[in-house]
């Protein structure tokens, strides 16, 4: 990965009661690109991004964001630096309207500026196609729409780095296509780190891929390089990619 | 009309109605209503934490009592002028909330309830321990000069009623405003999904502590007002029932609504008042009604209204 990095980890490790979920992960994330993090179930992907965002405390190792050591910052401080995070299991404010959900996401930066705040919320809702549902209560939305809402809450923060944990899980084909168009439109300004199981999505949108297996980095590189990597084929991809 | 407009009409209307009622109601009922308004301040204070932030404290009597004793003791023993004693009382409750909240908020869920309950028990025992000053369960009467302001005697029916009305009105409108501010919305966000709020970059621990202190200060103000208007300070206000009452009132009226606390206190007061006219077992009737309400209107009275006919209810 030759591009300028926005985030790096050194020796990042998480041990749960003697069991290493991640072990000595050295990772470099290219700025402005879409990077996919893949690996079999239990490879430690969610734990890894949890340690990046600060949700999960690392046992040891360091995280650098834009050259700054953020290893000891609490999650909310990391988010304030320009990181946004969507959960693997949809996490919105269920009792609030769609508009208020997005408003809260945009509100940290814009709460003092009501006009900009409302404009931002409206813009984000339009971008993901939820404008018509702005007044609906979030828990009344379909699962797919809740997923989209959570992505909208990420966008509303204008993040520098957007971490998405399995964003397309449970989405319909048409919604997946919309999602891919959306994040491809974001790349360039925003760096995207994606945990994804859908290989079609990965191969189509990712500039770089990192493969985790057993809590360690198995391979990193462009989709072509990863696809050609024998260790990856053995561990994870099998014949799935070419099929 | 916008939801915002409707909300102000509702709040203005409730205050106008309460104002007018004094001139219509017989003395007995206007006296009851002034007590209801003061306790509704307490319920509103509790509601900030429970209804809006989603934190259930079982120890709010300590804040009510802190305000009450902070007021009564400084008037009687230190001879503070009434307004000074009143402000001092609120500060005492806020300071206690800062300490108790700072520690209790290190826990969550059931542990949080237990820790707040324990703090309140400790506060209750402190009141009894210093019986020389607090006169324990027996309590004491607040000196007459502590119940005057600008020549107005607050121990008369009218003085008491309108003082309660003003203080209730200030809290009622301030709370309606608070929940529309970014601060209030963030408290609601914590109630709805704390982890999500944190992962939007909000320092949820700080917001919870701020909610706790605000809630404690408002509860303390209610306690000070009670001492001021009814002239009595006693340990029973620091005991467990006074931690449970605000929970009942808020649940009955509608947690997380601005009007709910008033409705809840009003309902409970008159439920007991009316049923005790028929039988000695009035608590049995009150209990039965509570059970029925919990079964059929779990959101409380105002909460059910919001669900069914008034979605704009703040």
Which chain B residues are Cβ-neighbours of A98 within 8 angstroms?
Answer: none
Closest chain B C-alpha to A67 CA, distance in angstroms: 20
Task: Look at B200 and A55 and tell me if their CB atoms are within 8 Å.
Answer: no
Split at pLDDT 50, 70, 90, the class of B166 is very high
Per-residue pLDDT tens over the stretch B5-27: 888 899 999 999 999 899 898 88
Contacts with B152 (C-beta within 8 Å, 6 or more apart), sequence order: B159
The reply to whether B197 touches chain A by the CB within 8 Å rule is yes
Domains of chain B and CATH, by start: 30-308 (1.10.3470)
Per-residue pLDDT tens over the stretch B251-263: 999 999 999 999 9
Is the model's pLDDT at A233 over the cut of 60? yes
- Residue B293 to residues B51, B289, B304, Cα–Cα distance (Å): 17, 6, 10
Query: Of the given ranges (B64-68, B69-73, B112-116, B300-304), which has the lowest mean pLDDT?
Result: B300-304
Residues A78 and A185 in one domain: yes
Q: Is A213 helix (H, G, I), strand (E, B) or coil?
A: strand
The reply to whether B188 touches chain A by the CB within 8 Å rule is yes
pLDDT above 70 covers what percent of chain B?
A: 100
A70, A73, A76, A146: which to substitute to probe chain B, counting the most B Cβ within 10 Å? A76
Domain contains A163 = yes
> What's residue A238's pLDDT?
56
Split at pLDDT 50, 70, 90, the class of A39 is confident
> What's residue B70's pLDDT?
95
| Sign of the torsion formed by the C-alpha atoms of A153, B258, B270 and B243 | positive
Task: Look at A108 and B200 and tell me if their CB atoms are within 8 Å.
Answer: yes
Task: Say how far apart CA A88 and CA A102 lie, in whole Å.
Answer: 18
> What's residue B243's pLDDT?
95
Residues A120 and A175 in one domain: no
Split at pLDDT 50, 70, 90, the class of A243 is very low
Task: Look at A91 and B202 and tell me if their CB atoms are within 8 Å.
Answer: no
The reply to whether B203 touches chain A by the CB within 8 Å rule is yes
Please give the structure tokens belonging to residue A128: 């993901």
Give me the residue label for tokens 């979605």. B311
Domain contains A115 = yes
Those residues of chain A whose CB sits closer than 8 Å to some CB in chain B are 53, 55, 74-76, 79-80, 85, 87, 91-96, 100, 103-105, 107-108, 111-112, 153, 157
Closest by Cβ to A93, choosing from B193, B201, B204: B193
Rounded to an integer, the average pLDDT of B89-93 is: 97
Give me the residue label for tokens 């209560």. A137
Rounded to an integer, the average pLDDT of A204-218 is: 90
Question: What CATH number did the domain enclosing A242 receive?
Answer: 3.40.50.300
Mean pLDDT, chain B, integer: 91
Is the model's pLDDT at B155 over the cut of 50? yes
> What's residue B139's pLDDT?
87
Mean pLDDT, chain A, integer: 88
Residues A71 and A173 in one domain: yes
Residues A23 and A11 in one domain: yes
Residue B110's DSSP bridge partners are none
Rounded to an integer, the average pLDDT of A153-163 is: 93
Question: What is the secondary structure of A136-154 as a DSSP string?
Answer: SBGGGS-HHHHHHHHHHHH
Is the model's pLDDT at B124 over the cut of 90? yes
Is the model's pLDDT at A175 over the cut of 80? yes
Domain contains A87 = no
Residues A125 and A237 in one domain: no
Per-residue pLDDT tens over the stretch A76-123: 999 999 999 999 888 999 999 999 999 999 988 887 788 888 899 999
Q: Is B298 helix (H, G, I), strand (E, B) or coil?
A: coil
Task: Say how far apart CA B302 and CA B259 lie, in whole Å.
Answer: 7
> What's residue B132's pLDDT?
86
> Given phi > 0 = left and psi -120 to 50 = alpha, else beta, which region is A27?
beta
Task: Say how far apart CA B122 and CA B141 lie, in whole Å.
Answer: 24
- Residue B60 to residues A113, A189, B162, B232, B247, Cα–Cα distance (Å): 36, 50, 26, 19, 9
Q: What is the pTM of this model?
A: 0.90
Split at pLDDT 50, 70, 90, the class of A9 is very high
Parent domain of A16: 1-82+159-243
Residues A168 and A235 in one domain: yes
Closest chain A C-alpha to B191 CA, distance in angstroms: 9
Domain contains A61 = yes
Which chain A residues are Cβ-neighbours of B202 within 8 angstroms?
Answer: 76, 108
Closest by Cβ to A79, choosing from B189, B192, B201: B201
**What are residue B297's phi and psi, to 5 degrees?**
-140, 65
The reply to whether B3 touches chain A by the CB within 8 Å rule is no
Between residues B220 and B279, which one has the greater pLDDT? B220
Cα nearest neighbour of A150 on chain B: B196
Domain contains A5 = yes
Rounded to an integer, the average pLDDT of A146-159 is: 93
> Are B25 and B37 spatial neighbours (Cβ–Cβ below 8 Å)?
no
Split at pLDDT 50, 70, 90, the class of A215 is confident
Last residue of a domain, one of A106, A127, A158: A158
> Are A214 and A232 spatial neighbours (Cβ–Cβ below 8 Å)?
no
Residues A140 and A167 in one domain: no
Please give the structure tokens belonging to residue B139: 């309590």
> What's residue B142's pLDDT?
85
Domain contains A184 = yes
pLDDT above 70 covers what percent of chain A?
A: 95
Strands A19-30 and A34-38, sheet pairing: unpaired
Closest by Cβ to B200, choosing from A96, A105, A112: A105
Is the model's pLDDT at B61 over the cut of 50? yes
> What's residue B257's pLDDT?
92
Is the model's pLDDT at A3 over the cut of 70? no
Closest chain B C-alpha to A2 CA, distance in angstroms: 30
**Minimal CA–CA distance to B215: which of B6, B67, B4, B30?**
B67
Residues A54 and A144 in one domain: no
Residues A194 and A222 in one domain: yes
Other beta carbons within 10 Å of A243: 6
Is the model's pLDDT at A29 over the cut of 70? yes
Is the model's pLDDT at B296 over the cut of 80? yes
Residues A174 and A214 in one domain: yes
Residues A143 and A104 in one domain: yes
The yes/no answer to whether this complex scores an ipTM above 0.95 is no
Task: Look at A79 and B200 and tell me if their CB atoms are within 8 Å.
Answer: yes
How many Cα atoms are found within 13 Å in the side-chain-facing hemisphere of A12? 34
> What's residue B143's pLDDT?
81
Task: Look at A92 and B196 and tell me if their CB atoms are within 8 Å.
Answer: yes
Residues A152 and A194 in one domain: no
Query: Of the given ranges (B49-63, B185-199, B250-264, B293-307), which has the lowest mean pLDDT?
Result: B293-307
| Sign of the torsion formed by the C-alpha atoms of B260, B261, B264 and B267 | negative
Please give the structure tokens belonging to residue B185: 């919305």
Closest by Cβ to B189, choosing from A74, A75, A104: A104
Contacts with B51 (C-beta within 8 Å, 6 or more apart), sequence order: B250, B254, B255, B256, B257, B260
Last residue of a domain, one of A141, A158, A175: A158
> What's residue A236's pLDDT?
67
> What's residue A171's pLDDT?
86
Is the model's pLDDT at B307 over the cut of 90? no
Query: Of the given ranges (A155-159, A166-170, B103-107), which has the lowest mean pLDDT?
Result: A166-170
Last residue of a domain, one of A108, A129, A158: A158
> What's residue A144's pLDDT?
87
Angle between helices B82-104 and B204-230 (to 10 degrees): 150
Q: Count of domains in chain A?
A: 2
């Amino acid at each position: 990965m030759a591009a300028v990095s926005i985030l790096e980890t050194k020796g990042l490790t998480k041990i749960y009661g003697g069991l290493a979920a991640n072990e000595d992960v050295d990772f470099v994330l290219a700025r402005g690109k879409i990077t996919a993090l893949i690996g079999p179930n239990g490879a430690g992907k969610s734990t890894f991004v949890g340690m990046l965002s600060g949700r999960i405390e690392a046992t040891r190792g360091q995280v650098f964001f834009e050259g700054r050591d953020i290893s000891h910052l609490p999650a909310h401080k990391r988010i304030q630096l320009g990181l946004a995070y969507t959960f693997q299991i949809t996490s919105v404010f269920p009792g609030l309207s769609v508009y208020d959900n997005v408003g809260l996401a945009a509100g940290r930066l814009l709460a003092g500026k009501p006009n900009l705040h409302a404009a931002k919320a409206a813009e984000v809702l339009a971008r993901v196609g939820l404008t018509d549902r702005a007044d609906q209560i979030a828990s009344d939305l379909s699962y797919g729409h809740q997923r989209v809402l959570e992505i909208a809450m990420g966008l509303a923060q204008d993040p520098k780095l957007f971490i998405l944990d399995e964003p397309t899980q449970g989405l319909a084909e048409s919604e997946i296509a919309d999602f891919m168009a959306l994040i491809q439109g974001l790349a360039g300004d925003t760096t995207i780190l994606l945990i994804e199981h859908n290989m079609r999505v990965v191969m189509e949108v990712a500039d770089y891929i990192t493969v985790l297996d057993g809590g360690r980095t198995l391979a990193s590189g462009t989709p072509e390089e990863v696809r050609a990597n024998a260790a990856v084929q053995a561990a994870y991809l099998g014949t799935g990619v070419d099929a | 009309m916008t939801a915002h407009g409707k909300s102000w009409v509702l709040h203005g209307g409730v205050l106008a109605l309460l104002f007018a009622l004094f001139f219509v109601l017989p003395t007995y009922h206007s006296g009851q209503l002034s007590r209801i308004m003061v306790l509704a301040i307490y319920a509103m204070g509790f509601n900030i934490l429970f209804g809006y932030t989603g934190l259930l404290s079982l120890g709010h009597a300590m804040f009510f009592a802190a305000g009450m004793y902070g007021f009564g003791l400084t008037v009687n023993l230190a001879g503070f002028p009434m307004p000074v004693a009143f402000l001092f009382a609120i500060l005492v409750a806020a300071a206690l909330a800062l300490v108790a909240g700072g520690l209790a908020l290190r826990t969550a869920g059931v542990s949080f309830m237990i820790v707040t309950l324990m703090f309140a028990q400790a506060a209750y025992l402190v009141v009894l321990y210093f019986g020389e000053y607090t006169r324990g369960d027996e309590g004491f009467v607040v000196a007459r000069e502590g119940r005057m302001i600008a020549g107005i005697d607050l121990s008369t029916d009218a003085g008491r009623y309108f003082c309660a009305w003003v203080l209730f009105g200030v809290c009622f409108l301030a709370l309606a405003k608070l929940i529309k501010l970014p601060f209030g919305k963030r408290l609601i966000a914590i109630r709805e999904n704390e982890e999500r709020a944190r992962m939007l970059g909000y320092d949820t621990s700080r917001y919870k502590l701020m909610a706790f202190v605000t809630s404690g200060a408002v509860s303390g103000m209610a306690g000070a007002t009670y001492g001021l208007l009814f002239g009595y300070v006693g340990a029973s206000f620091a005991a467990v029932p006074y931690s449970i009452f605000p929970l009942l009132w808020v649940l009955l009226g509608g947690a997380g609504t601005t009007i709910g606390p008033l409705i809840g206190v009003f309902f409970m007061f008159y439920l007991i008042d009316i049923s005790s006219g028929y039988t000695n077992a009035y608590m049995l009737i009150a209990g039965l009604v509570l059970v029925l309400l919990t079964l059929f209107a779990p959101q409380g009275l105002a909460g059910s209204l919001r669900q069914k006919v008034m979605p704009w209810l703040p």
